[in-house]
Chains A and B, each alone.
Chain A
Amino acid sequence: MSGAQDISWFSLGYCLLLVVIPLAVSWYLRLKLSKEIIVSVIRMITQLFLVGIFLVYIFDLDNLWLTFAWLMMMVLFATHSVISKSKLCWRCFLFPTMLSFAVATVTVLLYFNGLVIRLDNIFEAKYIIALAGMLLGNSLRGNIIGVNSFYDRIRRNENRYLYRLSAGATKFEACLPYIRQGLKDAILPMTATVATMGIVALPGMMTGQILGGSSPMVAIKYQIAIMIAILAAMTISITMSLALTIRNNFDPYGRLRKEVFRDSKDR
């Protein structure tokens, strides 16, 4: 592979100049977004530089433990992002969500590298990290939606849940419609994305591969494979998050614990 045309540091400066456009609009229409725009761009530059430097080393070393340590860091950040974007309590969700992300990502990755791409070394750092990023990044939103939907609906429709208990349901039986709804809420938007793939926009990975010198046919095969992998990883992680959190977030009488929500104290 020849790789994409490198962008010189000088040219990157030209690109930065484009930031003037959103800043100008913000100033002209008094959006008061200048600070947000500048901060977000600086954050991105710093993060990506650090990631770039790390990845060069990690790909060069290609050490199994280092690769997995990096993978776990990604899982930790994904978990952090899911919980902080929800109203759910840290203590009740941190560990189960992390475990679900880790299991879902690792199993789907190894299956993918071994049976789909058929790598000689299924632990090759380049593939593990790049693909894990796509799996985590894309199943993140689904997880936020699915887990939130489950707990929020039980809280909002408490009488409906309690009615099921009163009719003799076990905890699992009483939770089942909420589990179904949570999974539906999470998976449906993803199927919409899958169904419009290639029409609305060329996905990032395909663009990258094409610029990187791959033929479009190779790029679409990867894209098809990765979208299906995302769907699988997302389903595994949400189902697991729900299964693990349902165990502890209800009291022995089957009532949803108040502490599950961060805002429970204000209520």
Chain B
Amino acid sequence: MMIDFNKVNLKYKNKTILKEFSLKIEKGDKILLYGKSGIGKSTILRLLLSFISPDSGNIIYKGKPLTPEIAWQARKEIAYVSQDTDLGEGTVQEIIDEIRSFKTNKNLSDPIQLLKEFSLDRNILKKNITELSGGERQRIAIIIALLLKRDIFLLDELTSSLDSALKKKVIEKFFGRNDATVIAISHDPGWKEKAKKVVRLR
């Protein structure tokens, strides 16, 4: 068992976000979380990254409860991209260098190959992140997630600003990999088709 949500409850400002939520995720799973907006899909990913903690219930990561120590470890093994991802300031190159400056990411590889794959010109590295379009920024975030060489991917509305050809490519890139464990959130039917497991939240 890779990840296990066990009867997780969470309230935020007196509003119930998750009630007795349980989900088991095996290594190599390709899961799509699906459901109305505001139902707590993003919250599930944020819980796994310990950006928030549940009011009650357990989250087990690789057989161990998500204590602070395990949480710091998990963040080194997970890549997370969300539509709200804020990459920071500066040029694309500076942002990549900044991520590379973390001790755990010392071996971050060169982005050139991936830039080509996602139809981005290499000159984009010199551009300031604020000059990029929503779609370009989304692709940069995706490229960084892939460069991190993690084997667990948490993807929140990853393709919302991409055209259908790129969308297909991105879905294939994540759901097509045998070794990767992927939890994706999307309203897009493309993801649903390729998912091994679809979890519907109500």
Q: What residues make up the interface of A, taking CB atoms closer than 8 Å to B?
A: 157, 159-160, 162-170, 173, 177, 251-255
On whether A177 and B88 interact (CB within 8 A), knowing A165-B51, A165-B75, A166-B49, the answer reads yes
Q: Is B44's beta carbon under 8 Å from chain A?
A: no
CB distance from B157 to the nearest CB of A (A): 14
Stretch with Cβ within 8 A of A (4 or more), from B78-86, B170-178, B191-199: B78-86
Tell whether, in the assembled complex, residue B102 and residue A162 are in contact, meaning their CB atoms are under 8 Å apart. Answer: no
Among residues of B, the one whose C-beta sits closest to the C-beta of A165 is B75
B200 within 8 A of A: no
Binding site for A on B (CB under 8 A): 49-53, 68, 71-72, 75-76, 78-80, 82, 84-89, 98-99, 101-105, 144, 148
Contact of A157 with B86 at beta-carbon distance under 8 Å, contacts A166-B75, A167-B105, A253-B68 already known: yes
Expressed in whole angstroms, the minimum distance between the Cβ of A156 and any Cβ of chain B is 11
Structural contact, A159 and B80, CB atoms closer than 8 A: no
Q: Which residues of B contact A166 (CB under 8 A)?
A: 49, 51, 75, 78-80
Q: Which residues of the partner chain B approach A160 to less than 8 Å between Cβ atoms?
A: 86-88
Say whether B71 contacts A163, CB under 8 Å: no
With a cutoff of 8 Å between Cβ atoms, the chain B residues found around residue A162 in the complex are 49, 51
A173 to chain B, nearest CB (A): 5
Query: In the assembly, what is the distance between CA of A255 and CA of B47, in Å?
Result: 12
Asked if A173 and B75 make an inter-chain contact with CB atoms under 8 angstroms apart, the answer reads: no
Q: Cβ of A168: which chain B residues have Cβ within 8 Å of it?
A: 75-76, 102, 104-105, 148
Give me 18 A-to-B residue pairs in the complex whose CB atoms sit less than 8 angstroms apart, sorted by A's number. A159-B84, A162-B51, A163-B85, A163-B87, A165-B75, A166-B51, A167-B75, A167-B99, A168-B75, A168-B102, A168-B104, A168-B148, A170-B72, A170-B102, A173-B103, A177-B98, A251-B68, A255-B50
Q: Which residue of A lies closest to B50 (CB)?
A: A253
Q: Are B72 and A254 in contact (CB under 8 A)?
A: yes
Shortest CB-to-CB span from B115 to chain A, Å, is: 19
Q: How far is the CA of A159 from the CA of B68 in the complex (A)?
A: 19
B83 → A minimal CB distance (Å):
10
Q: Which residues of A contact B144 (CB under 8 A)?
A: 167
B51 pairs with A252, CB closer than 8 A: no
Minimal Cβ-Cβ distance residue in B for A157: B86
Distance between Cα atoms of A166 and B87 in the complex (Å) = 11
List 20 extra interface pairs beyond A163-B86, A163-B87, CB under 8 A: A159-B82, A159-B86, A162-B51, A164-B88, A164-B102, A165-B49, A165-B51, A165-B75, A166-B78, A166-B79, A166-B80, A167-B79, A167-B99, A169-B102, A170-B72, A173-B101, A253-B53, A253-B72, A254-B72, A255-B50
Are the CB atoms of B75 and A159 closer together than 8 Å?
no
B18–chain A nearest beta-carbon distance, Å? 18
For the complex, give the distance between the alpha carbons of A213 and B99 in Å. Answer: 58
Of chain A, the residue at the smallest CB distance from B80 is: A166
Of chain A, the residue at the smallest CB distance from B98 is: A177
Closest Cβ of chain A to B93, distance in Å, is 16
Given contacts A165-B51, A166-B75, A173-B101, contact A252 B68 (CB under 8 A): yes
A-B pairs with the 9 shortest C-beta distances? A252-B68, A160-B86, A166-B80, A168-B104, A159-B86, A168-B76, A253-B50, A169-B102, A173-B102
Q: In chain B, what residue has the closest Cβ to A254?
A: B72
Contacts of B78 in A (CB 8 A): 166
